[in-house]
């Protein structure tokens, strides 16, 4: 999750990877979210991600500014940094148009990671089905966010989950107008006007699911769980064809 901060006269967003948090969430077990993985950099949790096939994980583009040799994926564990199975990343496919604008907002914020050893599917490791091409995430519909990190009361090892409603693109675009609005191909979720529940830095790349299917990827926002600034997520349906092609999922 890239957090917006004030930098001189220009407001920008800065990436904060390992010390993330799910605000307002509760403990979860991996068997309830078996697609959730921990992306580790030199053995340390750095981002989340979602299993989409035996060899591929989808995550955020801004999570992969390093060589594949430094990255491993921990799957099948509710606990950060321990348990489950560890898989070496041997290929990174970041969207070819990925960039950040003058405010630091990421565009085309999606990547695929190929693992050398395939995931062995069981109760704690399963691929998640994806939203279809052009499928809309309706405003008001509840979504589920999962990840690890600081809850605001310390840094838990246990997987966290929180439910937040989808916010209309019009409202979200207006909220972020001074940062250039939200990029095409992104959606928002929050208790808008209330705050208190959100994903935050360190949860980058992790899943936003609706009815058990992947609808979004944790991307960026202004602060964490602030009433007037929803969390922003890469929209899976917008990139479904790109994912299908590069992860060889078929249609």
What is the pTM (predicted TM-score) of this model? Answer: 0.89
Whether 129-237 and 35-127+240-246 are alike in CATH topology: the answer is yes
Distance (Å, whole) CA 15 – CA 187? 19
Is residue 200 within 8 A of residue 47, CB to CB? The reply is no
pLDDT band at 226 (very low <50, low <70, confident <90, very high): low
| pLDDT for residue 16 is more than 90 | no
Q: Which of 93, 100, 108 is nearest to 184 (CA)?
A: 108
| pLDDT for residue 166 is more than 60 | yes
- pLDDT value of residue 1: 57
Instruction: Summarize the confidence of residues 181-193 as an average pLDDT.
Output: 88
Residue 172 is inside which H or E element, if any? Answer: helix 169-175
Point out the residues that are catalytic. Answer: 62, 109, 204
Please give the DSSP secondary-structure letter assigned to residue 204. Answer: T
Distance (Å, whole) CA 129 – CA 74? 20
**What CATH number should be reported for the domain whose range is 35-127+240-246?**
2.40.10.10
Looking at the domain 129-237, which fold is it? Thrombin, subunit H (2.40.10)
Q: What's the alpha-carbon Rg for the chain, to the nearest Å?
A: 16
DSSP 115-145: ESSPP--BTTB-PPEEPPTT----TT-EEEE
User: What are the residue boundaries of the structural domains of the chain, listed by start?
Assistant: 35-127+240-246, 129-237
Highest mean pLDDT among 40-44, 84-88, 135-139, 219-223: 84-88
pLDDT tens digit sequence for 110-136: 999 999 999 999 999 999 999 999 999
- pLDDT value of residue 9: 27
């Amino acid at each position: 999750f890239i957090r917006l901060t004030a930098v001189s006269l220009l407001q920008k967003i800065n990436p904060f990877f390992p010390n993330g948090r799910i605000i307002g969430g509760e403990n979860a077990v991996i068997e309830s979210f078996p697609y959730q993985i921990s992306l580790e950099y030199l053995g340390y949790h750095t981002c989340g991600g979602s299993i989409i096939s035996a060899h591929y994980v989808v995550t955020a583009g801004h999570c992969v500014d390093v060589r594949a040799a430094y990255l491993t994926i921990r799957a099948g564990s509710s606990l950060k940094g321990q348990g489950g199975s560890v898989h070496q990343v041997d290929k990174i496919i970041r969207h070819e148009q990925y960039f950040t604008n003058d405010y630091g907002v990421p565009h085309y914020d999606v990547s695929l990671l190929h693992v050398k050893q395939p995931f062995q599917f069981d109760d704690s490791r399963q691929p998640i089905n994806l939203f279809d091409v052009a499928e809309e995430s309706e405003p008001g519909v509840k979504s589920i966010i999962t990840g690890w990190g600081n809850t605001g009361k310390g840094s838990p090892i246990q997987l966290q989950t929180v439910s937040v409603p989808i916010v209309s693109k019009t409202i979200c675009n207006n909220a972020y107008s001074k940062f250039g609005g939200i990029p095409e191909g992104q959606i928002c979720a929050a208790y808008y006007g209330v705050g208190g529940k959100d994903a935050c830095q360190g949860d980058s790349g992790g899943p936003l699911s609706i009815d058990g299917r992947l609808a979004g990827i944790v991307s960026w926002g202004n602060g964490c769980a602030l009433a007037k600034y929803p969390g922003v997520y890469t929209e899976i349906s917008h990139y479904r064809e790109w994912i299908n092609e590069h992860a060889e999922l078929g249609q």
